[in-house]
Amino acid sequence: MPPWTDLSRNSISVVLVVVVFCILRYLKSPWRKVPPGPRGLPLLGNIRELVNSRWLTSLAPKDIYGELMFLRVPGMSVLVMNSLRVATDLFDRRTTTYSDRPRLILASEIYTGGLELAFAPYGDVWRRMRRAAHEGLNSTAAKRFQPVQTKEAVILTIDLLVDEASESLKRIHDHGVRIQMALLPGSNWVQIFPWMKQIPSSFAKWKRLGEYWFARDSEMFHGLLRKARDDLSTGVDNMTLGATFLKQQGRSGLSDTEIDWLSGIMFAAGTDTTTLSLSWWLMAMIVHPETQARAHAELDAVVGRDRVPAFSDLPHLPYVRATIREAMRWRPSFPLGLPHATTKDDWYEGMFIPKGTVCFASVNACNQDATVYGDDAARFDPARHLQAPNGELKQLPQEGHVNYGFGRRVCIGRHLANNTMDIAVAMILWATNVSQAKDKDGGDIRVETDEYINLELVHLPVPFECNIEPRFPEALEILATERDRMR
C-alpha cells in the first residue's frame, strides 16, 4: 500500500474532525438566535440598510421584521427596537445592560473631544457632568427659569406677528447639524473601522475637519459663558444655567472647559429641539384649524383677553398642552433616537443580543405604536392625551411620547424643555390665529405634512408658508406692554 494512502486517510480524518467541530460550534452558537433582519452583502453586511436613513427611521422595518431588527456590518452589530413594549423592557427595566453609549469616534471623540454629555460613555467625566446637569435642571430647579421663559415666549410671539428673524443662533445650529450627520451608523468609515483613527491628521481630511471644529466650538462655548463669569466676579448672579454650573464648580469638580461644553451643549440641544418641535406644532395648527379653535376657547375661558398666559395657568390648560404632546408624538424630530450600547451578552424572549451591540429605540415606531395610541396612531389628534370625563391630561407612558429617550440616558433637560414648550405654545395660541397662506388666486397653499427634510437622524418639516395674525385687536399691544415690563 503506498505510503501516501495512510497520509490521505489521516488528512481526511482531520478534515472530518474540523468539520464536525465547526458544525457543533455553529449549532451551539448563540448567534444563530439573534433577532431577524435583512440579509446582508458579502463582507459589508447590512451597510446598505444602515446608510438608508429614510428606510431605517420609517415604519417599514417593523412591518417587515417585527418588534426587533438586527443588522450587522464589519465590527458592529445594531439592534433596532420597533415597539414601546420592547424599548421599555430593555432600556427602562434592564438599565445596567442597556444604558452605555457605543464608541462614537467621529461625533464624540473627535468633533466634541469627549465632552458631549449625551454621547459620553460611562466614566468619571460623564458622572460629574451628569450630576451637575441634574442639579441645575431637575424639575424643582427648572422652575427658577420660568420668568425668563415667559419673557422669551412674549418676545417670540411678537416676532411672529411682526415677521422678525434672528441669525444669532446660526453657529449653534451648525454645530448641531455637524454632530447629527456624524451620528448615523454607517455614515463614516472610521466608525466601522476604528483603526482609521490612528491615521495622522495630515493624511485624513475628515479628521482635520473634526479637530478644527472642536477647537472652534470650544471657543464659541467659552464665549457664551464670558458674561456669566464676568458677572459672578463682580457679585452679580445673572440666573442663567451657565452661572449655575459656575457656582457649583467647587462641588462638581468640573474644569472650566467641561463647564463651557456642558453649558454650550445644553443650550444647543434645547435650542435645536425646541425650534424643531415648535415648527412641527405650527404645521399641525395650520392644517387642523378645529384643533386651534378648541385651544383658543380653552385659553379664553382660563386666561381671558386682558393679560398674557402665565405658568400658573398651565395646569388649567390641558388641551393646549395636549397639542404639544401630540405634535411631538406625531412628528418626532429625532425619529430614531440616540444609540445605546449593551455592556454584556443578553437574551430577550429567546433572542440573543451580544455584548457591544449598538441599540436604537425607533422613536417613530414607538410613537405610532397602535397598542398604546390606537389604530389611528398615524393621525394628529390631541384628544388622545386627555381622559374622560374631566378632560385632564392622561398619565401616558413617557409623557405621551418617547422623544426624550429612556432609562439612565433620558434627556436631562426634559423638564426645562417641557416648560419652554408649554409657555411658548400657550402664548402663541393666546395671541395669534395661524392659517394657511393663499396663492394669487385666493386658494390655500398646500402644506406637506407627510414630507420632511432628511438630515440623517433629524427630520425637519418642509418649509411652508402661513398667515399669522393677531387673534384680537389688543393682543399685540398687551404683548408689547408685558415685554417692556419684564425688561
Position 313 confidence tier, pLDDT thresholds 50, 70, 90: very high
For 143-168, how does the pLDDT look when each residue is reduced to its tens digit (9 = 90+)?
Answer: 989 999 999 999 999 998 886 544 44
CB 228 within 8 A of CB 243: yes
Could you give the domains of the chain?
32-113+132-486 (1.10.630.10)
Position 272 confidence tier, pLDDT thresholds 50, 70, 90: confident
Residues above pLDDT 90, as percent of the chain: 55
Q: What pTM did the predictor assign?
A: 0.86
Position 11 confidence tier, pLDDT thresholds 50, 70, 90: low
Provide the H-helix boundaries in 234-317. Answer: 241-247, 249-252, 256-287, 289-302
Distance CA(54)–CA(66), nearest Å, equals 18
Residue 96, CA distances (Å) to 74, 84, 133, 148, 272 in order: 26, 19, 21, 37, 30
b/e per residue, 203-214, with b = 16+ CB within 10 A?
Answer: ebebbeebeebb
CB 447 within 8 A of CB 283: yes
Write down how long the chain is: 487
**Amino acid letter, residue 10:** N
CB 179 within 8 A of CB 450: no
CB 36 within 8 A of CB 79: no
Distance CA(82)–CA(65), nearest Å, equals 9
For 24-39, how does the pLDDT look when each residue is reduced to its tens digit (9 = 90+)?
Answer: 555 568 889 999 999 9
**Is residue 22 pLDDT above 70, yes or no?**
no
| Closest by CA position to 77, among listed 112, 120, 110, 37 | 37
CB 302 within 8 A of CB 313: yes
Give 339: exposed, middle or buried? Use CB within 10 Å, 0-12, 13-18, 19+.
buried
Residues above pLDDT 70, as percent of the chain: 91
The cell for 300 is 379664553
CB 427 within 8 A of CB 157: yes
Lookup result for grid cell 457664551 = 224
CA 52 to chain centroid: 19
**Is residue 322 pLDDT above 50, yes or no?**
yes
| Closest by CA position to 163, among listed 422, 437, 459, 430 | 437
**Is residue 8 pLDDT above 80, yes or no?**
no
Give SS3 for 130: helix
Distance CA(202)–CA(36), nearest Å, equals 42
CB 392 within 8 A of CB 386: yes
Helices 289-302 and 318-330, axial angle in degrees (round to 10): 150
Position 474 confidence tier, pLDDT thresholds 50, 70, 90: very high
